[in-house]
């Protein structure tokens, strides 16, 4: 990983020094070794805090809505999953593509520090990755964890490849894996209605309505969200009832359906660890089944199943009759 | 001092709950938050940091305040507050207990917030000393001793036992209720644990943050610091840091129409939200940098200047753990604080 970081740093320096770009968006080191923050770097000097490591899970594409409107070109490091969000935002005319220079960077999954802490005792001192082994040193001793169990939920089933790039920095290829991203959705589908309702009720009752899921979501790019708009009639800052808990999430899931790229940021940021990505993935699976396979963000142009009409489109009655499963 | 074997803690909880409602850390759908103890719940008093702090018990995330009914030109105002009978809040850590002081100074100052006051008076608080701390903890910086929290009763826990000591009359009364489950003893064990924990706390990465710069006389300099721009750049403007914070105290009051009149309620608000300062004339904070700055200036400068130097951060580290982009008050303290932070 260090070699990739060095290479990125080198490129960032060149781009800034030559004046080709006015700023570079990447990650900068945090207080610990596991909490980098998205950041923009405008000078070579600022790059001293630049990092790219196992904990750079944050998706940088949404920051480009603002950054691409600034003076001068913005270079950005995008992981495979981030490029889907990027394309989707370009398609929706939220990012000015001509002002962005995309550097596709390799990703061999990102780690979830909370999962690591749960599986170890004591204060975490260091984390190293060797193939499938995650070696953790804490004040209590040493642990070897199985990597797939401590990656971010989005990474556990990721087979994504870069869909946008002006250049790439890939030093280690990631082998294609045999993963089924709908496995968890299928488990929910297999439940009875009552079980499923109980599952979501339990999960959503934890929601503190902090809006982190919405604010981080690249598909949630409305200038004024309906839940913040006092004229919408449903503006609210707290969930006062079960109904409100569900309303917020169901409306959000519907609104991003067909545009959600499955970047997994909603589940990464939720302070209550609500598996929000499952709601969106259910929609993705349904769209695949009803309209043919579709992956949002694969391109930055073209029609999408829910915003275009073809004669072959499924009739609502067939959906409601339960023909489409 | 008394003690009770850990295997018998459920008996202790049941005994208390038979007498009055008991609220404590409960695990639900994988996360631990304060909730009511009842049959079948999974208690988790050993969890160091509940996601939300116990402040909900005094200052709920949303509550109905009053109802208006109009008839012709008359408006009838009906008090619909939900009063809480005496209740026990169990397992409160030292930082969260100190946070109640911070809230008291706001809600119990003149004019007294009677909604908050009634719950405060109804509460019997049992604190729990920390023994396994985390690297994000920095209560020591605020003069808090995590190994000796106050409250009506203080408890400590080690591998085998929970130790119990009443500090107030309310605490004595609670002790009387559970007395039959308690044995004498624990002084030596508690002392040993306190010393061991303190040694760990002294070594924590944030335990020696320097706050000396955060004083009212530096208000303008801090407010105008160039660094706010860079520090706030990645901020999403979500409410996570404010909603998990035990001392954040801002709320919004709104009305909504129902079939039986208009209900006025209040709910937590966040200075990180864009409409927080929206007024009839417009909005006085139009950028996320300004909102971000407000949150930390309030905690480190404004609040202490109005409350005899008491900071309105207790170093619980929740914002350190929970900010989606890893921004937090520690970064602010290090960037703008005294030079001893390097
Ligand atoms: S989802 Fe894939 S590309 Fe994105 S961070 Fe995880 S492993 Fe990397
Ligand atoms: S991030 Fe989690 S807690 Fe916050 S609003 Fe979204 S679902 Fe609710
Ligand atoms: S500091 Fe972090 S938690 Fe707070 S509003 Fe900004 S992004 Fe959200
Ligand atoms: S500002 Fe952060 S560390 Fe301080 S009390 Fe609030 S949540 Fe805890």
The C-alpha of B323 sits at a distance from chain A's nearest C-alpha, in angstroms, of: 8
pLDDT tops 60 at residue A324:
no
Looking at residue A244, its pLDDT comes to 80
Looking at residue A266, its pLDDT comes to 97
For residue B240, the chain A residue with the least C-alpha distance is A210
The C-alpha of B325 sits at a distance from chain A's nearest C-alpha, in angstroms, of: 5
E runs forming strands in chain B: 2-5, 22-28, 31-36, 42-43, 62-71, 74-79, 87-92, 123-128, 153-157, 161-166, 183-184, 251-258, 261-268, 278-279, 282-283
pLDDT tops 90 at residue A310:
no
Are A166 and A142 members of one domain?
no
Distance CA B229, CA B223 (A): 11
3-class DSSP state of B148: coil
Say which of A30, A31, A216 has its CB closest to residue B236. Answer: A216
A38–B29 CB contact, under 8 Å? no
Burial track B203-214 (b if 16+ CB lie within 10 A, e otherwise): ebebbebebebb
- Burial class, B220, CB count within 10 angstroms (exposed 0-12 / middle 13-18 / buried 19+): exposed
Q: What is the largest CA-CA distance in chain B?
A: 71
For residue A61, the chain B residue with the least C-alpha distance is B234
User: How far does the centroid of ligand 4 lie from the alpha carbon of residue B271, in Å?
Assistant: 14
Are A99 and A214 members of one domain?
no
The C-alpha of B4 sits at a distance from chain A's nearest C-alpha, in angstroms, of: 25
Are A300 and A192 members of one domain?
yes
Sequence ranges of the domains in chain B: 2-202, 216-341
Is there a contact between B323 and B139 (Cβ–Cβ < 8 Å)? no
A215–B233 CB contact, under 8 Å? no
Q: What is the average per-residue pLDDT within A50-58?
A: 98
Question: Which residues on A lie below 8 Å from B51 (Cβ)?
Answer: 206, 208, 271-272
pLDDT tops 70 at residue A325:
no
B33–A206 CB contact, under 8 Å? yes
For residue A224, the chain B residue with the least C-alpha distance is B274
Q: Which of B292, B52, B196 is nearest to A37 (CA)?
A: B292
Helices (H), chain A: 2-18, 64-67, 80-91, 113-118, 153-156, 183-189, 193-204, 212-216, 242-256, 265-269, 277-291, 316-320
Are A18 and A139 members of one domain?
no
Helices (H), B76-164: 94-107, 114-122
Distance CA B80, CA B71 (A): 19
Residues facing residue B251 across a β-bridge: B268
Q: Which helix or strand (DSSP H or E) is residue B17 part of?
A: helix B9-19
In this structure, the number of other CB atoms found within 10 A of the CB of residue A30 comes to 21
User: How far does the centroid of ligand 2 lie from the alpha carbon of residue A227, in Å?
Assistant: 14
- Under the banding of pLDDT at 50, 70 and 90, the label for residue A320 is low
Are A1 and A133 members of one domain?
no
Distance CA A26, CA A38 (A): 6
Are A165 and A22 members of one domain?
yes
Distance CA A236, CA B95 (A): 30
Locate the ligand 1 atom nearest the alpha carbon of residue A107 and give its number: 8
Question: Which residues on B lie below 8 Å from A210 (Cβ)?
Answer: 238-240, 242-244, 270
Segment A257-309, tens digit of pLDDT: 999 999 999 999 999 999 999 999 999 999 999 898 999 999 999 888 888 88
Are A42 and A169 members of one domain?
yes
Output the tens digit of pLDDT for each of chain B's 342 residues: 999 999 999 999 999 999 999 999 999 999 999 999 999 999 999 999 999 999 999 999 999 999 999 889 999 999 998 878 999 999 999 999 999 999 999 999 999 999 999 999 999 999 999 999 999 999 999 999 999 999 999 999 999 999 999 999 999 999 999 999 999 999 999 999 999 999 999 999 999 999 999 999 999 999 999 999 999 999 999 999 999 999 999 999 988 888 888 999 999 999 999 989 999 899 999 999 999 999 999 999 999 999 999 999 999 999 999 999 999 999 999 999 977 776
ipTM of the complex: 0.93
CA-angle at A211, arms to A195 and B317, nearest 5°: 100
User: How far does the centroid of ligand 2 lie from the alpha carbon of residue A67, in Å?
Assistant: 26
Provide the residue range defining the domain that includes A5. Answer: 1-109+158-177
User: How far does the centroid of ligand 4 lie from the alpha carbon of residue A200, in Å?
Assistant: 30
A228–B327 CB contact, under 8 Å? no
Looking at residue A162, its pLDDT comes to 95
Are A44 and A63 members of one domain?
yes
Task: Record the pTM.
Answer: 0.94
Segment A222-260, tens digit of pLDDT: 999 999 988 888 888 888 778 888 889 999 999 999 999
Could you tell which of B211, B247, B250 is best to mutate to test the pocket of ligand 4, judged by most ligand atoms within 8 Å of the CB? B247
Locate the ligand 1 atom nearest the alpha carbon of residue A152 and give its number: 6
By DSSP bridging, strand B62-71 and strand B87-92 are: unpaired
A203–B29 CB contact, under 8 Å? yes
The C-alpha of A36 sits at a distance from chain B's nearest C-alpha, in angstroms, of: 7
Are A29 and A66 members of one domain?
yes
pLDDT tops 80 at residue A318:
no
- Under the banding of pLDDT at 50, 70 and 90, the label for residue A313 is confident
Question: Which residues on B lie below 8 Å from A222 (Cβ)?
Answer: none
Q: Is residue A30 less than 8 Å (CB to CB) from chain B? A: yes
Are A289 and A224 members of one domain?
yes
Is there a contact between B20 and B86 (Cβ–Cβ < 8 Å)? yes
Number of structural domains chain A divides into: 3
For residue B255, the chain A residue with the least C-alpha distance is A236
């Amino acid at each position: 990983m260090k070699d990739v970081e060095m290479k990125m740093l080198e490129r960032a320096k060149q781009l800034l020094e030559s004046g080709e770009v006015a700023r570079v968006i990447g990650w900068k080191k945090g207080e610990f070794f596991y909490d980098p923050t998205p950041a923009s770097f405008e000078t070579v000097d600022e790059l001293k805090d630049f990092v790219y490591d196992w904990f750079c899970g944050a998706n940088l594409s949404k920051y480009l809505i603002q950054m691409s409107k600034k003076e001068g070109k913005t270079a950005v490091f995008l992981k495979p999953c981030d490029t889907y969000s990027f394309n989707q935002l370009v398609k929706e005319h939220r990012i000015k593509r001509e002002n962005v220079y995309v550097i596709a960077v390799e990703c061999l999954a990102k780690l979830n520090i909370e999962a690591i802490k749960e599986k170890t005792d004591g204060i975490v001192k260091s984390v190293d990755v060797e193939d499938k082994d995650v070696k953790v040193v804490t004040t209590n001793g040493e642990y070897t964890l199985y990597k797939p169990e401590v990656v971010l939920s989005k990474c556990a089933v990721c087979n994504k490849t870069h869909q946008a790039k002006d250049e790439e920095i890939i030093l280690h290829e990631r082998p294609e894996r045999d993963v089924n991203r709908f496995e968890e959705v299928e488990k929910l589908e297999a439940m009875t209605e009552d079980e499923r309702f109980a599952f979501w009720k339990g999960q959503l009752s934890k929601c503190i309505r902090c809006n982190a899921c919405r604010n981080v979501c690249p598909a949630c790019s409305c200038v004024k969200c309906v839940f913040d708009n006092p004229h919408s009639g449903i503006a609210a800052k707290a969930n006062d009832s079960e109904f409100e808990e569900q309303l917020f999430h169901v409306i959000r899931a519907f609104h991003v359906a067909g545009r959600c790229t499955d970047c997994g940021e909603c589940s990464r940021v939720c302070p209550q660890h609500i598996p929000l990505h499952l709601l969106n993935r259910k929609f993705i699976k349904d769209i695949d089944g009803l309209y043919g396979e579709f992956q949002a963000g694969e391109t930055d142009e073209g029609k999408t199943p829910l915003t275009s009409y073809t004669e072959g489109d499924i009739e609502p009655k067939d959906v409601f009759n339960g023909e489409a499963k | 001092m008394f003690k009770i074997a850990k295997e018998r803690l459920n008996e202790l909880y049941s005994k208390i709950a038979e007498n009055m409602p008991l609220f404590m850390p409960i695990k639900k759908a994988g996360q631990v938050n304060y909730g009511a103890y009842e049959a079948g719940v999974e208690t988790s008093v050993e969890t160091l940091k509940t996601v939300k702090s116990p402040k909900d018990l005094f200052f709920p995330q949303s509550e109905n305040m009053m109802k208006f009914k109009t008839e012709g030109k008359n408006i009838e105002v009906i008090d619909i507050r939900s009063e809480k009978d005496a209740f026990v809040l169990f397992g409160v850590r030292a930082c969260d207990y100190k946070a109640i002081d911070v809230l008291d100074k706001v809600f119990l100052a003149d004019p007294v917030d009677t909604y908050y006051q009634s719950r405060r008076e109804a509460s019997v608080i049992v604190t729990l000393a920390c023994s396994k701390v985390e690297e994000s903890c920095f209560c020591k910086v605020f003069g808090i001793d995590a190994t000796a929290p106050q409250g009506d009763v203080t408890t400590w826990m080690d591998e085998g036992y929970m130790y119990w000591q009443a500090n107030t009359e309310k605490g004595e009364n609670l002790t009387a209720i559970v007395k039959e489950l308690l044995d004498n003893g624990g002084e030596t064990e508690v002392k040993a644990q306190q010393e061991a924990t303190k040694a760990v706390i002294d070594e924590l990465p944030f335990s020696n943050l320097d706050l000396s710069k955060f004083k009212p006389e530096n208000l303008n300099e801090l407010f105008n610091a160039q660094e706010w721009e860079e520090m706030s750049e990645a901020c999403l403007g979500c409410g996570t840091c404010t909603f998990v914070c035990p001392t954040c105290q801002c709320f919004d009051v709104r009305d909504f129409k129902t079939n039986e009149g208009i209900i006025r309620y209040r709910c937590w608000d966040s200075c990180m939200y864009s409409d927080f300062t929206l007024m009839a004339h417009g909005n006085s904070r139009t950028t996320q940098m300004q909102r971000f700055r407000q949150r930390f200036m309030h905690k480190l400068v404004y609040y202490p200047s109005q409350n005899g130097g008491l900071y309105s951060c207790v170093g619980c580290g929740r914002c350190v753990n929970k900010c989606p982009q890893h921004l937090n008050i520690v970064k602010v303290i290090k960037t703008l604080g005294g030079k001893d932070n390097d």
